[in-house]
Amino acid sequence: MFTNVREQLRTTLDEISEAGLLKPERVISTPQSSNVRVAGNEVLNFCANNYLGLADHPEVVAAAKEALDRWGFGMASVRFICGTQEVHKELEGRLSAFLGMEDTVLYSSCFDANGGVFETLLDAQDAVISDALNHASIIDGIRLSKARRLRYANRDMDELESRLKEAADARRRLIVTDGVFSMDGYLAPLREICDLAERYDAMVMVDDSHAVGFVGPTGRGTPELHGVTDRIDIITGTLGKALGGASGGYVAARKEICELLRQRSRPYLFSNSLAPVIASASLRILDLLETTGEAREQLRANTARFRGEMTRNGFDILPGDHPIVPVMIGDAAKASAMAERLLDLGVYVIGFSYPVVPHGQARIRVQLSAAHSAEDVDRAVEAFVQARG
């Protein structure tokens, strides 16, 4: 049987390659950092989600080593059987306090967190209204529920209001949006979303994976930035980006929502507990975030420097002030070729193309980090100029 399937799969893979859409995996032979070794060469890393440079921070690494001795390697169980340690409860409490929410539930990833919310809270009597550019995990999570599915154009408040009117007969209405749209670096207009939610009696859910830790005056994310923390019902996020870059996710929400998730959310009930070493190191990361803002300030400075210099050199970058900086190329093959050229020049970036972004909108997504120096940023700009030819 597989002989025929093999040929079909090879044909599909050949088509992907010929279209310039192949996504090879480059192997890094060093810890994740602003400088890494790829194929034996030291290169500047401008494509990791290591926003605050914590992935190899000495204090985080030390906390992880200590946690291995104290808590062991893994739980070998789900939470409700024998997979809950004190460190899990402590982290949930700390995240709740940091995010200004009533309770928090840990998951093995934010993909799982988003996959576990919708079918738990919503059924055929309800409606979920989703931004068109929401993350794939939100889209997949919505598909698992029986709720009516409505979509509005990215950040289009008029269309959101129209969808809310369409859902007026639903028992429950849930608006869901990314806090930051990861392919563009654009921020959701949360204040306007909350205004509409209150007008039409809807709940609001925000996936803030690309914001928590560095967006907002104290790094508490887009709800803090927009001054709407107390108006948000559900925040999902990851420990795998700014918060150390390991793995793990969470749902921070109203108390009753979290209580129901613990009883019925399938990714929570049927997945192993978050490794205690990650939970313990994440507590140290929260300590760092709450005691100093130097990394956030460095990240903002690096972002402004890169955006300014790339604009001065005539590159087409999407506007904004987020450390995700999309350099628009258009053609998928050209974006891939340019990324390869940049790697030869000592700058590690990735070309993004369909299906990650729409056809014709291929780009190189540059991600700044607090771990980059001003000289690193200038070298990256110079490499882009050379790669453009």
Active-site residues, by number, are 182, 210, 241
Task: Yes or no: say if 59 and 285 are a contact pair by the CB < 8 Å rule.
Answer: no
Question: Which residues on adjacent β-strands are paired with residue 205?
Answer: 176, 234
Helices (H) and strands (E) in the chain, counts: 15, 15
**SS3 letters for 117-140?**
HHHHHCCCCCEEEEECCCCHHHHH
Per-residue CA distances from 309 to 194, 327, 343, 380, 389 (Å): 36, 12, 20, 10, 17
DSSP string, 88-113: HHHHHHHHHHHHT-SEEEEES-HHHH
* Distance (Å, whole) CA 252 – CA 75: 22
* Distance (Å, whole) CA 201 – CA 196: 8
C-alpha 87, offset from chain centre: 24
Per-residue CA distances from 231 to 133, 199, 224, 264 (Å): 22, 12, 11, 25
